[in-house]
């Protein structure tokens, strides 16, 4: 049960150390690329930038790529590489998808094999999946330069180029080749048409002839490799890495799992190397690892070691429901007893799980994909046991435990500052971080970056829950329906992209006859949330780092709060738990915890 | 101007590298070195026609074949997915109970190995639940959602209610009175009163589809009150179970009744395969006119030899690839 998560985390830690050191070398410019690549760097270098210029270049690049990708996706029906004749998507779904892939969220209101041509997959999806994590890495490197006290923050274009071409491309190529060896398709052929072994097993057409089983395929390996490595998560197929073509066996599952956290872990190593402060990085790494391990253990315990409670016995219960029209203001709802169904659930909850990955693979992946902002899945999160559903939700609520490529560590930095600030208040000294005083302006920026996330989660969740927009879109009754809404905005705001996918949340093709009634509302709301929650927590820390960089370094004395000790590790841990719990606990109680307490099943 | 130049260079080069060179290289690797896998691990028959992918579940219904896990999308491999039903969703429990009714067997005791289905039918025909008569009426009252779903599940069901509706204008009038602005009721709106009435008029029966010879010599499906069949065994299994909590039933391996995430899971657990083994062995023994025990032994050996565990056995349980084992069965016992 525990072998799989321990192996995955252990192997990834080992790989992340050399990768992190390599990244520090090439991204910081200490190791220069050979001739031709170096001349490209010279051509795109616009010179040293301060934080405003850096953020400006970053926004400019985002606007340009948004427009190009929008045009390609909107007009995919008229572009090449479309063997299965995919039609035109609704503009709201294109808008959502582009916000999603621009913000490294990769929330999918479409279903890959249904809605996208190979051209859209390769040009929009694949391209975005490369350069959005590269933007995260670039901004992280810039922030670290600021913290280090460099006179400028580097050049955005050069950082973007280095992240894409020296880090993401080579690692993805290796992973993709391994995935093809593991059995993943990589072809431009259209759907395969299969004559089923039992003739007519897929039904018959009007003339009585047996229907074939059509199997969607495509250039899967190229997209899955970078999807996993870049904390992207936008799968080739609708059900993501549960699909056998997107995750053919237990070995590819292992590799894909390692890829989810590899670069986020390496970022912390790079952070330590660039600051020449490995002890501080180790403390941060340790705190992140504690959260990751806890979430994995929680998920595995409640999902793989407990049966699905839908099938177990429940005694008769009754609830008092407030009801203004009833004589004494309440109505009694009595629920009959339920017998246990004769199902052998020794492997835990198997609804929405694939068998070939190993028993605890689903919740293990669920924790990793949400601690980082990946958002790919190898099991349906919507069907996790009620308490196990807290694992992915909590990972995204905190969103800093390894987190997205680059941006995860930037988020953690905000918590670091808050921890330093709290510790400073407790001992009555002006808080310092890395030898620089943290003052009012920095705290305001940190708070802005910290609070945008809960605001973007709870605000829209409240709005959609109160209106029919949410209530008419859920696939499950009661608290689980609320969890679906909560999960969607949590995922959008955490730039994660996984989902309680039962939610009817996207419009689909422009001429979709059975479009969900509020598909367009979801498309637009989630799109806006993703954009705000992407750029505010990147730009505020850039400003913050720029502001620290300009300050004089204060001398290190016995009274200085050290950030490389176990004590500081505990303060950081406590801060994250406290702030995280204060922000989202009420919502958690209304969703997964209420669901766990019953009634199960709810109605019917 | 500098920025424009940088952006253009970056656009051109990243598009070239990420969208042309990178996938192009991988396509070449796939084509040259791994063409079978890169095209989807298709299995072809002697004539070269693809008859399946070893990675993709294919539906099997015949008794002679192992059956894959249930699929939320009907094994449609161009629109894959799971149910996305949480534990609190009553549809999940109902779906599992319906699957269980026709397949569950007694465990220990004198009736070990016998199906419970016939006993459910016998209990159903007596038409008493919780000390009151009218099982179907009580079911529809407790599970108004399932009753309404029945009305929508098949056009024949809806038509059957519509016919009933014409003979019972009072029920329509009552519904219209309760819902003055809704217009005429749809079949699912009247499902509750339909089943209540049906239960009174047809005690111990449930409306199910039966095949009949039609006027033009073919068979056609019609809905009729029936007293036995998989509908009754499935829909009323949960109620039967509550009144027979002491019956010792053999637990069914969970993967037999729980749908996979993709709807395409090509595997079942070895335990699940062994649970299905009796049915399969009996059928092949019948078609090949051989000793049942001998065929059973052979198939069991094939299962054991063909099973594999994740990561070489260090995580998870032994699994059987359904398509591969079924092709092996056809090869061994089928018509040559």
Nearest chain B Cα to A191, which residue? B78
Residues of B in contact with A475 (CB under 8 A): 84-85, 89
Nearest chain A Cα to B312, which residue? A250
Structure tokens at A413: 């930095």
B122 has a pLDDT exceeding 70: yes
Residue from B2, B12, B88 to probe the interface with A (highest A Cβ count within 10 Å) = B88
Judgement on whether residues B69 and B158 belong to the same structural domain of the protein: no
Q: Distance (Å, rounded) from C-alpha A585 to C-alpha A369? A: 21
A307 has a pLDDT exceeding 90: yes
Q: Tokens 């009721």, residue? A: B185
Instruction: Catalogue the E-assigned strands of A347-448.
Output: 432-433, 436-437
Terminal alpha carbon distance of chain B: 75
Residues of B in contact with A196 (CB under 8 A): 51-52, 58-59
Q: Do B84 and A311 touch (CB under 8 A)?
A: no
Long-range Cβ contact pairs of A424-433 (< 8 A, separation 24 or more) = A424/A561, A427/A561, A429/A559, A429/A561, A431/A561, A432/A554, A432/A560, A432/A561, A433/A147, A433/A548, A433/A563
pTM reported for the whole predicted model: 0.94
pLDDT tens by residue, B10-27: 999 999 999 999 999 999
Judgement on whether residues B121 and B241 belong to the same structural domain of the protein: yes
Query: Judged by CB atoms within 8 Å, which residues 159-198 of A form the interface with B?
Result: 160-161, 164-165, 169, 172-173, 176-177, 180-189, 191-198
Residues of B in contact with A71 (CB under 8 A): none
Structure confidence at residue B183 (pLDDT): 81
Which of B258, B274, B295 marks a domain boundary? B258
Q: Do B75 and A213 touch (CB under 8 A)?
A: yes
Q: Do A111 and B81 touch (CB under 8 A)?
A: yes
- In this structure, are residues B29 and A179 in contact, taking their beta carbons and an 8 Å threshold? no
Interface check A208 vs B, CB under 8 A: no
Task: Give me the DSSP letters along A282-309.
Answer: HHHHHHHHHHHHHHHHHHIIIIISS--T
Query: Judged by CB atoms within 8 Å, which residues 131-190 of B form the interface with A?
Result: 142-143, 145-146
Which of A115, A119, A135 has the alpha carbon at shortest distance from A65?
A135
- In this structure, are residues A176 and A168 in contact, taking their beta carbons and an 8 Å threshold? no
Q: Distance (Å, rounded) from C-alpha A492 to C-alpha A3? A: 32
- In this structure, are residues B193 and B174 in contact, taking their beta carbons and an 8 Å threshold? yes
Judgement on whether residues B287 and B250 belong to the same structural domain of the protein: no
Half-sphere exposure of A27 (CA within 13 A, CB side): 34
CA A24 to chain B, closest CA, distance in angstroms equals 22
- In this structure, are residues A20 and A268 in contact, taking their beta carbons and an 8 Å threshold? yes
CA B307 to chain A, closest CA, distance in angstroms equals 11
**Which residue among B13, B145, B242 places its CB closest to the CB of A339?**
B242
Q: What are the φ and ψ backbone dihedral angles of A498, each rounded to 5 degrees? A: -75, 175
Task: Give me the DSSP letters along A32-79.
Answer: PPPHHHHHHHHHH------HHHHHHHHHHHHHHHHHHHHHHHHTGGGS
pLDDT tens by residue, A390-448: 999 999 999 999 999 989 999 999 999 999 999 988 888 888 898 889 988 999 999 99
CA A246 to chain B, closest CA, distance in angstroms equals 10
Structure confidence at residue B336 (pLDDT): 64
Residues of B in contact with A55 (CB under 8 A): none
CA A567 to chain B, closest CA, distance in angstroms equals 37
B209 has a pLDDT exceeding 80: yes
pLDDT tens by residue, B172-182: 888 888 888 87
Q: Distance (Å, rounded) from C-alpha B181 to C-alpha B164? A: 23
B132: exposed, middle or buried (Cβ count in 10 Å: 0-12, 13-18, 19+): exposed
pLDDT band at A144 (very low <50, low <70, confident <90, very high): very high
Strands A343-344 and B252-253: parallel
Structure confidence at residue B214 (pLDDT): 79
pLDDT band at A353 (very low <50, low <70, confident <90, very high): very high
Q: Do A196 and B265 touch (CB under 8 A)?
A: no
pLDDT band at B184 (very low <50, low <70, confident <90, very high): confident
| DSSP code for A166 | I
Residues 6+ apart with CB under 8 A from A71: none
Query: Judged by CB atoms within 8 Å, which residues 258-277 of B form the interface with A?
Result: 258-269, 271
Q: Distance (Å, rounded) from C-alpha B291 to C-alpha B294? A: 5
Residue B169's SS3 state is helix
Q: Give the whole-number percent of chain B exceeding pLDDT 70.
A: 99
Residues of A in contact with B37 (CB under 8 A): 180-185
Residues forming a β-bridge with B319: B269, B308
Structure confidence at residue A513 (pLDDT): 86
CA A155 to chain B, closest CA, distance in angstroms equals 11
pLDDT tens by residue, A176-223: 999 999 999 999 999 999 999 998 888 888 888 889 999 999 999 999
Cβ neighbours of B334 (radius 10 Å): 14
**Which residue among B62, B84, B317 places its CB closest to the CB of A380?**
B84
Q: Do A382 and B23 touch (CB under 8 A)?
A: no
pLDDT tens by residue, A559-578: 788 889 999 999 999 999 99
Residues forming a β-bridge with B272: none
**Which residue among A177, A197, A502 places its CB closest to the CB of B330?**
A197
Interface check A250 vs B, CB under 8 A: yes
A380 has a pLDDT exceeding 70: yes
Residue from A213, A251, A346 to probe the interface with B (highest B Cβ count within 10 Å) = A213
CA A420 to chain B, closest CA, distance in angstroms equals 38
Residues of A in contact with B96 (CB under 8 A): 310-311, 341, 343
Q: Distance (Å, rounded) from C-alpha A365 to C-alpha A352? A: 13
Query: Judged by CB atoms within 8 Å, which residues 3-32 of B form the interface with A?
Result: 3, 5-7, 9-11, 13-15, 17-19, 22-23, 25-27, 29-31
Helix then strand then coil, in percent of chain B rounded to 5, is 55, 10, 35
Average pLDDT estimate for B242-257 = 94
Range of the structural domain that residue B19 is part of: 2-38
- Whether the ipTM is more than 0.90: the answer is yes
Q: Do A239 and B80 touch (CB under 8 A)?
A: yes
Judgement on whether residues B91 and B115 belong to the same structural domain of the protein: yes
- In this structure, are residues A302 and A52 in contact, taking their beta carbons and an 8 Å threshold? no
Judgement on whether residues B57 and B95 belong to the same structural domain of the protein: no
Structure confidence at residue A502 (pLDDT): 82
Which of B203, B238, B258 marks a domain boundary? B258
Which of A60, A95, A58, A64 has the alpha carbon at shortest distance from A527?
A95
Overall domain count for chain B: 3
Q: Do A604 and B87 touch (CB under 8 A)?
A: no
Judgement on whether residues B179 and B266 belong to the same structural domain of the protein: no
Judgement on whether residues B307 and B163 belong to the same structural domain of the protein: no
Residues of B in contact with A390 (CB under 8 A): none
Residues 6+ apart with CB under 8 A from B329: B64, B65, B66, B280, B284, B299, B302
Structure confidence at residue B291 (pLDDT): 94
A148: exposed, middle or buried (Cβ count in 10 Å: 0-12, 13-18, 19+): middle
Residue A1's SS3 state is coil
Structure confidence at residue A575 (pLDDT): 95
Q: CA dist B326 to A212, B26, B331, Å? A: 18, 33, 8
Average pLDDT estimate for A106-133 = 90
**Which residue among B6, B60, B84 places its CB closest to the CB of A198?**
B60
Cβ neighbours of B78 (radius 10 Å): 17
Structure confidence at residue A602 (pLDDT): 85
pLDDT tens by residue, A514-557: 888 899 999 999 999 999 999 999 999 999 999 999 998 888 88
Judgement on whether residues B286 and B248 belong to the same structural domain of the protein: no
Judgement on whether residues B89 and B215 belong to the same structural domain of the protein: yes
Interface check A355 vs B, CB under 8 A: yes
Residues of A in contact with B258 (CB under 8 A): 308, 349-351, 353
A1: exposed, middle or buried (Cβ count in 10 Å: 0-12, 13-18, 19+): middle
Interface check B330 vs A, CB under 8 A: yes
Q: Distance (Å, rounded) from C-alpha A41 to C-alpha A34? A: 11
Average pLDDT estimate for A38-66 = 93
Q: Do B89 and A601 touch (CB under 8 A)?
A: yes
Residue from B25, B29, B32, B87 to probe the interface with A (highest A Cβ count within 10 Å) = B87
Query: What would you report as the CA-atom Rg of chain A, rounded to the nearest whole angstrom?
Result: 25
Judgement on whether residues B235 and B163 belong to the same structural domain of the protein: yes
Residues forming a β-bridge with B224: B208
Structure confidence at residue A452 (pLDDT): 94
Q: Do B83 and A347 touch (CB under 8 A)?
A: no
CA B282 to chain A, closest CA, distance in angstroms equals 19
Residues of B in contact with A117 (CB under 8 A): none
Average pLDDT estimate for A365-377 = 95
Residue from B79, B129, B261, B310 to probe the interface with A (highest A Cβ count within 10 Å) = B261
Judgement on whether residues B120 and B90 belong to the same structural domain of the protein: yes
Residues forming a β-bridge with B212: B220
Residue A29 gets the label, from left (phi > 0), alpha (psi -120 to 50) or beta, of left
Q: CA dist A538 to A229, A414, A533, Å? A: 20, 11, 9
Q: Do A194 and B42 touch (CB under 8 A)?
A: yes
Q: Tokens 């799971």, residue? A: B82
B237 has a pLDDT exceeding 90: yes
pLDDT tens by residue, A3-32: 999 999 999 999 999 999 999 999 998 888
Which of B223, B258, B293 marks a domain boundary? B258
Angle between the N-to-C axes of helices A440-466 and A407-427, in degrees from 0 to 180, rounded to the nearest 10: 120
Q: Do A161 and B311 touch (CB under 8 A)?
A: no
Judgement on whether residues B122 and B176 belong to the same structural domain of the protein: yes
Residues 6+ apart with CB under 8 A from B7: A60, A61, A64, A157
pLDDT tens by residue, B278-335: 999 999 999 999 999 999 999 999 999 999 999 988 898 999 999 999 999 999 998 7
pLDDT band at B126 (very low <50, low <70, confident <90, very high): very high
| Omega before B252 within 30 of 0, i.e. cis | no
pLDDT tens by residue, A480-519: 999 999 999 999 999 999 988 888 888 888 888 888 889 9
Query: Judged by CB atoms within 8 Å, which residues 313-352 of A form the interface with B?
Result: 336-339, 341-347, 349-352
Helix then strand then coil, in percent of chain A rounded to 5, is 60, 5, 35
Which of A598, A387, A404, A512 has the alpha carbon at shortest distance from A109?
A512
Instruction: Catalogue the E-assigned strands of chain B.
Output: 42-44, 50-53, 128-129, 132-133, 206-213, 219-226, 252-253, 267-269, 319-321
Query: Judged by CB atoms within 8 Å, which residues 356-415 of A form the interface with B?
Result: 356-362, 377-380, 382-386, 389
């Amino acid at each position: 049960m525990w072998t799989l998560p321990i192996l995955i985390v252990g192997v990834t830690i080992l790989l992340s150390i050399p990768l992190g050191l390599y990244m520090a070398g090439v991204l910081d410019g200490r190791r220069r690329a050979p001739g031709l690549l170096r001349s490209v760097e010279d051509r795109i270098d616009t010179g040293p930038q301060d934080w405003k210029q850096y953020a400006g270049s970053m926004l400019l690049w985002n606007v340009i790529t948004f427009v190009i990708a929008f045009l390609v996706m909107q007009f995919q029906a008229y572009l090449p590489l479309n063997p299965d004749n995919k039609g035109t998507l609704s503009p709201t779904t294109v808008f959502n998808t582009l916000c999603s892939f621009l913000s490294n969220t990769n929330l999918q209101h479409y279903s890959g094999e249904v809605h996208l041509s190979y051209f859209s997959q390769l040009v929009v999806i694949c391209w975005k999946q490369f350069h959005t994590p590269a933007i995260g890495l670039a901004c992280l490197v810039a922030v670290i330069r600021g913290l280090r006290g460099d006179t400028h923050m580097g050049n955005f274009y050069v950082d973007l180029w280095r992240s894409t071409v020296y880090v993401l491309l080579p690692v993805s190529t290796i992973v993709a080749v391994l995935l093809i060896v593991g059995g993943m398709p990589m072809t431009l052929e259209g759907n395969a048409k299969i004559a089923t072994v039992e003739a007519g097993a897929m039904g018959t057409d009007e003339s009585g002839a047996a229907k074939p089983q059509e199997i969607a395929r495509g250039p899967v390996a190229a997209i899955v490799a970078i999807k996993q490595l870049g904390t992207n998560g936008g799968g080739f197929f609708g059900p993501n890495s549960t699909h056998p073509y997107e995750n053919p066996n237990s070995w590819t599952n292992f590799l894909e799992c390692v890829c989810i956290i590899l670069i986020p872990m390496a970022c912390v190593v790079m952070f330590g190397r660039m600051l020449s402060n490995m002890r501080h990085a180790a403390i941060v790494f340790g705190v992140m690892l504690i959260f990751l391990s806890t979430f994995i253990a929680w998920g595995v315990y409640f999902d793989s070691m407990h049966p699905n409670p839908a099938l177990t016995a429940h005694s008769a219960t009754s609830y008092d429901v407030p009801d203004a029209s009833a004589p004494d203001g309440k109505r009694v709802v009595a629920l009959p007893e339920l017998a246990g169904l004769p199902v052998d659930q020794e492997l835990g909850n198997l609804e929405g799980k694939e068998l070939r990955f190993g028993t605890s693979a689903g919740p293990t992946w669920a924790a990793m994909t949400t601690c980082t902002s990946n958002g790919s899945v190898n099991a349906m999160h919507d069907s996790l046991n009620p308490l196990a559903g807290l694992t992915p939700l909590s990972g995204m609520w905190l969103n800093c435990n390894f987190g997205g490529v680059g941006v995860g560590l930037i988020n953690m930095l905000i918590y670091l500052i808050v921890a330093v600030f709290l510790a400073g208040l407790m001992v009555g000294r002006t808080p310092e971080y890395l030898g620089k005083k943290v003052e009012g302006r920095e705290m305001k920026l940190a708070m802005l970056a910290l609070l945008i996330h809960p605001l973007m989660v709870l605000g829209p969740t409240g709005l959609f829950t109160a209106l029919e927009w949410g209530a008419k879109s859920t696939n499950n009754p009661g608290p689980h329906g609320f969890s679906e809404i909560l999960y969607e905005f949590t995922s959008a705001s955490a730039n994660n992209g996984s989902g309680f996918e039962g939610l009817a949340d996207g419009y689909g093709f422009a001429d979709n006859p059975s479009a969900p009634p509020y598909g367009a509302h979801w498309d637009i709301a989630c799109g806006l949330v993703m954009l705000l929650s992407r750029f505010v927590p990147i730009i505020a820390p850039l400003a913050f780092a720029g502001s620290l960089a300009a300050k004089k370094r204060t001398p290190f004395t016995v009274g200085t709060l050290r950030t490389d000790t176990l004590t500081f590790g505990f303060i950081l841990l406590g801060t994250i738990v406290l702030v995280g719990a204060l922000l989202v606990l009420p919502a958690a109680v209304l969703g997964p915890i209420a669901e766990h307490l019953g009634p199960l099943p709810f109605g019917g | 101007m500098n920025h424009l130049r940088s952006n253009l260079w970056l656009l051109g080069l990243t598009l070239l590298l990420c969208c042309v060179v990178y996938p192009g290289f991988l396509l070449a690797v796939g084509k040259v070195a791994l063409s079978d896998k890169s095209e989807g691990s298709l299995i072809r028959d002697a004539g070269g026609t693809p008859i399946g992918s070893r990675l993709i579940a294919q539906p099997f219904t015949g008794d002679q074949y192992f059956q894959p896990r249930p699929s939320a999308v009907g094994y449609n491999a161009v629109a894959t997915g799971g149910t996305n039903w949480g534990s609190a969703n009553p549809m999940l429990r109902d779906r599992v109970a319906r699957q269980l009714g026709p397949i569950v067997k007694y465990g220990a005791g004198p009736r070990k190995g016998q199906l419970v289905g016939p006993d459910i039918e016998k209990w159903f025909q007596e038409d008493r639940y919780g000390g009151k008569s009218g099982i179907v009426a009580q079911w529809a009252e407790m599970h108004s959602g399932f009753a309404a779903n029945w009305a929508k599940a098949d056009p024949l069901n809806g038509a059957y209610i519509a016919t009933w509706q014409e003979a019972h204008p009072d029920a329509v009038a009552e519904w219209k009175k309760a819902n003055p602005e809704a217009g005429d009721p749809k079949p699912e709106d009247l499902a509750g009163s339909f089943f209540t009435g049906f239960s009174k008029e047809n005690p111990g029966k449930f409306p199910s589809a039966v095949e009949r010879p039609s006027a033009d010599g073919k068979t056609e499906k019609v809905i009729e009150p029936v007293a036995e069949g998989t509908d009754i065994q499935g829909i009323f299994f949960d109620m039967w179970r509550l009144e027979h909590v002491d019956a010792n039933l053999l637990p069914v391996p969970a993967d037999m009744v729980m749908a996979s995430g993709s709807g395409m899971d090509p595997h079942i657990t070895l335990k699940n395969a062994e649970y299905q083994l009796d049915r399969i062995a009996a059928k092949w023994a019948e078609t090949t006119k051989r000793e049942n025990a001998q065929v059973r032994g052979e198939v069991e050996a094939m299962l054991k030899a063909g099973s594999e565990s994740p990561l070489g056995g260090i995580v998870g349980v032994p699994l059987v690839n359904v398509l591969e084992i079924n092709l092996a069965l056809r090869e061994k016992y089928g018509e040559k």
